[in-house]
Amino acid sequence: MNKVFTLRYLAGLLLLSGVLSLCARAAQISANSPAKAVDLQPSQAPAPADGTIRLTLEEALARARQNSPQFQAALADAQIAHEDTKQAKDALLPTVSYNNQLLYTQGNGAGGVRYIANNAVHEYISQGNAHETLDVAGIYAVRRASAAASLARARAEIASRGLVVTVVQDYFAALAAQRKTDLAQKAADEGEQFLKVTQNLENGGEAAHSDVIKAELQARERRRLLQEARLALLNARLDIAVLLFPDFNDRFELTDDLHASIPLPTLGEVQQQASRENPDVRGALAAVQQAKDTVAVERSAYLPSLGLDYFYGIDASRFATNSILLGQQVPNLGSSASATLNIPIWNWGATQSRVKQAQIRQAQSARELSFAQRKLLAEIQSLYNEAETALDEQSGLSRSAELAAESLRLTTLRYKGGEATVLEVVDAQTTSAQAANTYEDGAVRYRVALANLQTLTGAMSTR
């Protein structure tokens, strides 16, 4: 019979060990799984076979999110905070452990012990323990961890939207730099052609040599500006490449249209979206809730806590399921339960000090929330007016570039006909180049203004 119980007991140990192994494996799988609440990484398109990567703005944003250390750090913080919430919830649930212990004490020669802290000379403990602690602090700790996770998600969203602004600015700055380089090349070609015109007119006795000198100076200036434009294009491409690629890669092409027509939503729509989606306000609200729950956690130290324990297994002088007592076989397997009520009495004001610290943080978080709300109202007005002004200027800048180009054409024809001076042609060339560059800068300004609005609303179109 003793052997039968021993086998059953060992089988129970193996079963419990298997259950604990499965629980550990499930916890490991859960820990390796990404948090759904903060998954902010879109998919990335594969590179074409020719080696040149053609990137839309959305694809550039996806690559930037994957390669930005600041955004990935914010994303990691959000995932860590999500795991903290899971751990706080798990702390409210009962725990099961299996304890094995051998206690050896010097005997007194009569079957008893000299050191009375133990029950026998040889005491074997092998038992499972189910433990649960009931207190108010655990409940508020879960709420505090949940608020912290919301705050971390809001900060990850803030980092994401800040990254959007940076990528949009660099993306369209690179497109504008490409356009400005093309315009500089065109202006340089026009300067060379005008120099030839003045030389031909001088050879025919129809223009003074001073006109040739002025035209040559203008041609040299146009070639210098072309070199500067090429340098600016190189730097702009390097800036966007650093954001998008984990290693240096200059074989890419930006495919979005800088001058595509993108409507601006109404101010009412922006205000409504910002009231729901602004991550700064959501983060400030989460910080207030976190501080409030922290106060509750610290105050709960004034309240009693109840600990419950249930034990089942062996606590005997033999490591066996049965023992022989007075010639009879008695079972060693048994159970016990205990309840412990812990009532805090005095700790020299430490709890009161922690409560005061939490209240100070709560007051500060409330002030930060009020500031975030006021700042949001001001930024909505400022950034919307910026976008509206940039949009209104688009048609005027486009028209100015067209008029300047037409003025250059007509002035050049008038010069060839002897009706205009060389200074008028040079001035028309300068005006045309400046108007074209200003038109490109205006398009970038509007795109960046839209991206800045997106940091407030999260719903602005980027294409």
Of 365, 379, 385, 371, nearest in space to 457 by CA: 379
Handedness of CA 412, 418, 424, 425 (dihedral sign): positive
CA distance 415 to 419: 5
Query: Looking at residue 50, what is its pLDDT?
Result: 58
CB 213 within 8 A of CB 147: no
Residue 388 is encoded by which pair of tokens?
A: 């509206």
Q: What mean pLDDT do residues 120-139 have? A: 85
Q: Residue 239's pLDDT band (boundaries 50, 70, 90)?
A: very high
Average pLDDT over residues 65-74: 90
pLDDT of 321 = 86
What is the pLDDT confidence band of residue 459, given thresholds at 50, 70 and 90?
low
Among 56-60, 170-174, 317-321, 459-463, the range scoring the smallest mean pLDDT is: 459-463
How confident is the model over 74-83, as a mean pLDDT?
92
pLDDT value of residue 206: 84
Band of the pLDDT at 26, cuts 50, 70, 90? Answer: very low
Percent of the chain residues past pLDDT 70, beyond the cut:
87
Q: What is the pLDDT of residues 337-378, one digit of tens each?
A: 999 999 999 989 999 999 999 999 999 999 999 999 999 999
User: Do the beta carbons of residue 140 and residue 297 sit within 8 Å?
Assistant: yes
Judged by average pLDDT, the poorest of 20-34, 132-146, 288-302, 370-384 is 20-34
231 vs 274: which has the higher pLDDT: 231
pLDDT confidence of residue 5: 40
Span 236-242, average pLDDT: 92
d(CA 250, CA 52): 9
Nearest to 307 by CA among 334, 346, 337: 337
Tell me which of 31-40, 172-181, 264-273, 384-393 is least confident. 31-40
**Residue 169 CB neighbour total at 10 angstroms:** 18
Check pLDDT > 70 for residue 17: no
pLDDT value for 14: 43
**pLDDT tens by residue, 302-334:** 999 999 999 999 888 888 888 887 788 888 888
253: Cβ contacts below 8 Å, ≥ 6 apart:
52, 53, 54, 55
**What pLDDT was estimated at residue 181?**
94
Provide mean pLDDT across the span 415-440: 91
Helices 136-203 and 279-299 cross at an angle (nearest 10°) of 160
**DSSP symbols for 164-207:** HHHHHHHHHHHHHHHHHHHHHHHHHHHHHHHHHHHHHHHHTTSS
Q: What tokens does 326 get? A: 């007075």
Output the DSSP codes for 295-328: HHHHHGGGS-EEEEEEEEEEEESSSSSEEEETTE
Instruction: Give the residue-averaged pLDDT of 203-217.
Output: 89
Q: Which of 40, 164, 74 is nearest to 456 (CA)?
A: 164
For residue 13, is pLDDT > 80? Answer: no
Give residue 344's identity as a one-letter amino acid code. Answer: P
Average pLDDT score over residue span 422-428: 92
pLDDT of residue 48: 52
Spell out the SS3 assignment of 53-66: EEECHHHHHHHHHH
pLDDT digits (tens, 9 = 90+) for 390-418: 999 988 999 999 999 999 999 999 988 88
Per-residue HEC secondary structure of 27-93 comes to HHHHHHCCCHHHCCCCCCCCCCCCCCEEECHHHHHHHHHHHCHHHHHHHHHHHHHHHHHHHHHHCCC
Residue type, 46: P
User: Which helix (DSSP H) or strand (DSSP E) does residue 99 occupy?
Assistant: strand 95-104
| Distance (Å, whole) CA 314 – CA 373 | 63
pLDDT at 384: 93
Q: How big is the chain by its Cα radius of gyration, in Å?
A: 38
pLDDT tens for 79-107 read 999 999 999 999 888 989 988 888 777 77
Mean of all residue pLDDT scores within the chain: 84
C-alpha–C-alpha distance, residues 44 and 239, integer Å: 20
Residue 243 and residue 20: Cα distance in Å, rounded?
45
CA dihedral 150, 155, 161, 167 (to 10 degrees): -140
- Check if the beta carbon of residue 252 is closer than 8 Å to that of residue 54: yes
**Which domains can be identified in the chain, with CATH numbers?**
57-93+138-303+352-457 (1.20.1600.10)
pLDDT value, residue 24 = 42
pLDDT at 7 over 80: no
Picking from 179, 180, 219, 177, the residue whose alpha carbon sits closest to that of residue 197 is: 219
Give yes or no for residue 179 having a pLDDT over 50: yes
For residue 459, which of 161, 184, 245, 92 has the smallest C-alpha distance?
161
d(CA 157, CA 41): 11
Q: What's the one-letter identity of residue 139?
A: I
From CA 271, how far away is CA 256, in angstroms rounded? 28
